Structure 1
Amino acid sequence: MNVDKKVAFYTLGCKLNFSETSTIARNFVNEGFERVEFEEKADIYVINTCSVTDNADKRFKSIVKSALKKNEEAFVIGVGCYAQLKPEELAAVDGVDLVLGATEKFNVTSYINDLTKNDIGEVHSCEIEDADFYVGSYSIGDRTRAFLKVQDGCDYKCTYCTIPLARGISRSDTLENVLKNAKEISEKGIKEIVLTGVNIGDYGKGEFGNKKHEHTFLELVQALDKVDGINRLRISSIEPNLLKDETIDFVSNSNIFVPHFHIPLQSGSDTLLKKMKRRYLRKVYTDRAAKIKEVMPNACIGVDVIVGFPGETDELFLETYNYLADLDISYLHVFTYSERPNTEAVEMDGAVPKKTRAKRSKMLRGLSVKKRRAFYESQLGNTLTVLFESENKEGYIHGFTENYVKVKTPWNPDLVNTLHTITLTKIDEDGLVRFDFVDAGVIA
């Protein structure tokens, strides 16, 4: 039935979404569909949505339009976080045929017996309380790196966040299944695995809301460290209160886990951290960063930070700015606060004008550029290992060192998905470390 039917995918949002899109795509292929690039004409377009920012919601409409330009008769499906939070709104977008919520998205092929266009999108969306089971997934979108999902959902109640409403309670994959997926990835020749989830430090909670941890995050890390065939394991975003000293110490002595941590801060002001209902204060973050640098002086530390949260005065913003300026970190991911329905923050007093939010965001992005430059400069003279990726960007191939320094060298297809130990010597005009194999007397 599905022979000659083509399906294409578009993913908005986080690494977790990418891992889930890959799993959904494999389900289609197993059912006989041919997967093609989103830029090509397809019979079905699946758009995996995000709800973290206002912008991700708005982009959905333009992506639907883009799909229908390629094939006006294409069957368009919306899945993911926005599909769970606002299914009727998404279904009303012109050209959308099917909307699947949090529990239904992994069974998408069972909802498409008929590919006839609908006048209005058909919705299958559960109450989020029903999202109490776990579906493991991993992405293998390129030959270099895979995102391995180990956890889903969140039990935190941060006042700005809709993710618990979109993804449900915290629950985890079994250790046995994570190790099986990691082994499958390694057998495909992929050199690096990035662990991902909504709140991966909370790893170990079972299905059906079981609050008991079957395993800890440290036990997960220790078990993955023993999987044969993996060159690199990278921990994606992990809460500062859940990143324990034992885990940091273990990573510092591991041959596989790399010295790179991405740790959300959100604000450098204790006043705002309390309003956000974060589960730590600034001192915890300071201690984590200091511990990492103590045992791994060359480690890269990335930081998430929100600007323009309700009640963020000039003084409180400067508190965050100055705190980050003084902290030994490597780069920032800056998010401009946007009002999200059904969150506590949307009802709070002290809304920050949009222009002020934009100005503060620009200041922090500028600080991030300086931080990254300083970190790269601190790595010059060090001998590190680069994993080169697969894209030709304006005549260069790019790769990352274990501690997340971005390196470029003149394009050579033989370098794709290969590891090379090099000495970092110079930073180019674009801020990236440049390495020339020929100049170094090395034949790649």
Structure 2
Amino acid sequence: MPHFTVRFKTFGCKLNQSETAVMARDFLDHGYQAATESESADVVVINTCTVTGRSDAKCRQAIRQSLTQNPESTLIVTGCYSQVSTAEIASIPGVDYVFGVSEKLGLFDFFPGPGKREVPCVRVTDIQERKDEPIRFAGNYTDRTRAFLKIQSGCDRRCSYCIVPLARGPSRSLPVDFILDQADHLIRTGFREVVLTGVHVGDFGKKGSGTSGLPALLRRLVRLDPAVRWRMSSLDPGDLGDELLHTLAEYPSICRHFHVALQSGSDTILKAMNRRHTTGEFREAVARIRDVLGPVGLGTDLITGFPDETDQRFEETRRFVESLPFSYFHVFPFSARGGTPAAGMSGQIPSRVRMERARILRSIGAAKKQAFLESFIGKTTEVLFECRKINGRMGGFTSEYARVEIPFDPQLVNRIARVRIRNMDGQALTGEILPADAT
């Protein structure tokens, strides 16, 4: 049997990365090998994102680039962009297979093997009809430090700007026993940190997964191996209840890192976005975190130039984010997505204004990140070091998601070590490794 090769290109969120890992394992189980950088792969799989118009453009560029560089490769396009813009993807000459969000987790049900097609094979089912999530074995990861563990998919929130519910469907949780089995497998494989992923992980367990919710799941995961770190992906302010925060306080192996989506610091805009929090409730959530856990890593998402975001409303956002202890921002100029209410709203903001406001917030975010990193200087912290060696150095992350770099030491790969932070070098901290018994 010939050994075919495969290459993956992934766009978007950690959930997409976890699903690419599942697909990679499927190909491995079917006898495929990962293509090297220098060879043309027999099969190319592009796992797409459609959260913004720019995401769509990047995916189209990657498709065309693959067709130019690897014209004989069988090209599979899957993911969220394929789900909501199926005909657009299928119309690109050279695309051989178009799979939806559900189909990518069982693509060998539809994919017989390498071979160019005159007409693309399209398999995209109605994601809104899904009541449960396909149960697939934990994926194949090349990095043995951090793995992504999918616990949930879909979203019921229906924010007025967001296309994700159209691409991912309603909120669905995976069974808790399955998640525990997958987590145990990842630990035995050697991973020292596992990131819980989903579209809205705070919704976990609210639709019959066999547990009372995210805090209960975290408590069971931590007990699998106290030496393994657990990190949560994005949450909403309403997810930050007392039970979750006190669970983190009880178990230090759950990372002190929160990514809490704000989107705007104007209550008028938040209401138009159909967000479920006010600025006051967001501020209270941040205060609860700090009251229970002390200083943490705190990131957020922000959208600039949402319809009817006047200069005054943008100024409200600027002042609000400056007043809170964020460690970084993800800033996105508003992108009108077809099929969402915001796309048809009056008061659309010119592109140049959206971009300029994004620049202003990113500048504030950069200053916040520098202050966050500087707060570690002179302190001792624990860092999980990765296997990558770049320019003679290696890096890793603290529980709070601060990056630390030191000279490469193979003995520290995939280990948590105590580091005394001495300085900053660009976007990373530097320091010295301490003996285990040092104070």
Q: Name the TM-score class by shorter chain.
A: over 0.9
Q: Which amino acid aligns with 1:133?
A: D
Tell me the equivalent position of 2:286: 289
Map of 1:178 onto structure 2: 179
Match of 2:151 in 1: 150
Q: Return the offset for 1:230.
A: 4.7
Give the match's secondary structure for 1:384. Answer: strand
The gaps in structure 1 that reach 5 residues or longer are none
Aligned equivalents of 1:38, 1:394: Cα separation in 2: 20
| Aligned residue in 1 for 2:373 | 376
For 1:250-277, what per-residue CA distance to the aligned partner results, in whole angstroms no more than 9, with x for missing partners?
A: 1022131011111000011110110000
Q: What residue in structure 2 maps to residue 108 of structure 1?
A: 107
Residue equivalent to 1:89: 88
2:64 equivalent in structure 1? 65
SS of equivalent to 2:235: coil
TM-score, scaled relative to structure 2: 0.94
Preserved CA contact (<8 Å) 2:264 2:302? yes
Please give the alpha-carbon distance, in whole angstroms, between the structure 2 residues aligned to 1:232 and 1:63: 34
- The alignment partner of 1:345 has SS state of helix
> What SS does the aligned partner of 2:240 have?
coil
After TM superposition, give the deviation of residue 431 of structure 1 in Å: 3.6
Instruction: Show the counterpart of 2:349.
Output: 352
Structure 2 residue ranges without an equivalent (≥5): none
Letter in 1 for 2:59: F
Given the alignment, which residue of 409, 423, 439 partners 1:426?
Answer: 423
Residue 351 (structure 1) shift: 0.8
Q: Which moved more, 1:162-171 or 1:384-393?
A: 384-393
In angstroms, what is the RMSD of aligned CA positions?
A: 2.0
1-side partners of 2:427 and 2:113: how far apart?
Answer: 51
C-alpha separation in 1, matches of 2:210 and 2:349: 40
For 1:355 and 1:252, the matched residues in 2 are separated by 44
- The one-letter amino acid paired with 1:435 is G
Runs in 1 of length 4+ with deviation above 4 angstroms? Answer: 136-139
Report the residue type matching 2:279 in the other structure. R
Match of 1:269 in 2: 266
Residues in 2 aligned to 1:18 and 1:411: alpha-carbon distance in whole angstroms: 26
| Correspondences of 1:109-124 after superposition (within 5 Å) | 109-113=108-112, 115-124=114-123
Residue 63 of structure 1 deviates from its aligned partner by 1.6
* Structural mapping, 1:112-261, within 5 Å: 112-113=111-112, 115-136=114-135, 138-139=138-139, 140-206=141-207, 214-228=211-225, 230-261=227-258
CA contact (8 A) 1:38 1:45 kept: no
1:33 aligns to what?
32
In the TM superposition, residue 179 of structure 1 has moved relative to its aligned partner by 0.8
* Counterpart-to-counterpart distance in 1, 2:37 and 2:281: 43
**Counterpart for residue 396 of structure 1:** 393
Cα shift readout 1:172-201 (whole Å, capped 9, x = no counterpart): 011111111110000011100011100110
Per-residue CA deviations over 1:378-415 (Å, capped at 9, x if unaligned) read: 22222111111122233321111111111111233333
Cα contact 2:211–2:217 (8 A) shared by 1:
no
Distance in 2 (CA, whole Å) between partners of 1:431 and 1:127 is 43
Match of 2:277 in 1: 280
Are 1:410 and 2:407 matched, yes or no? Answer: yes
SS at match of 1:249: helix
Q: Do the aligned residues in 2 keep the contact of 1:9 with 1:37 (CA within 8 Å)?
A: no
Aligned length: 435
Q: Given that residues 301 and 331 in structure 1 are in contact (C-alpha distance below 8 angstroms), is that contact kept between their aligned partners in structure 2?
A: yes
Aligned residues of 2:43 and 2:74 also touching (Cα < 8 A): yes
Deviation of residue 441 (structure 1)?
Answer: 9.1
The more displaced of 157-166 and 290-299 is: 290-299
Shift of the alpha carbon at 1:220? 1.1
Residues 308-343 of structure 1, C-alpha deviation per residue, up to 9 Å, x if partnerless? 111111111110111010112211111111110000
Q: What is the CA–CA distance in structure 1 between the aligned matches of 2:112 and 2:370, rounded to whole Å?
A: 53
Going from structure 1 to structure 2, the CA distance change for 1:230 and 1:132 (only over 3 Å counts) comes to: farther
Give the secondary-structure state (helix, strand or coil) at the position aligned to 1:301: strand
Residues 343, 427 of structure 1: alpha-carbon distance in 2 compared, 3 angstrom cutoff = same
Look up the SS of the partner of 2:386 in the other structure: strand
Whole-Å separation in 2 of the counterparts to 1:323 and 1:387 = 33
Amino acid at match of 1:257: I
CA distance in 1, matches of 2:48, 2:227: 30
Q: How far apart, in 2, do the equivalents of 1:309 and 1:326 lie?
A: 21
Instruction: Give the AA of the match of 2:154.
Output: G
Q: Once the two structures are aligned, what percentage of the paired residues are identical?
A: 38
Asked whether the equivalents of residues 102 and 134 of structure 2 are also in contact (C-alpha less than 8 Å), the reply is no
- 8 Å CA contact 2:176–2:210 kept in 1: the answer is no
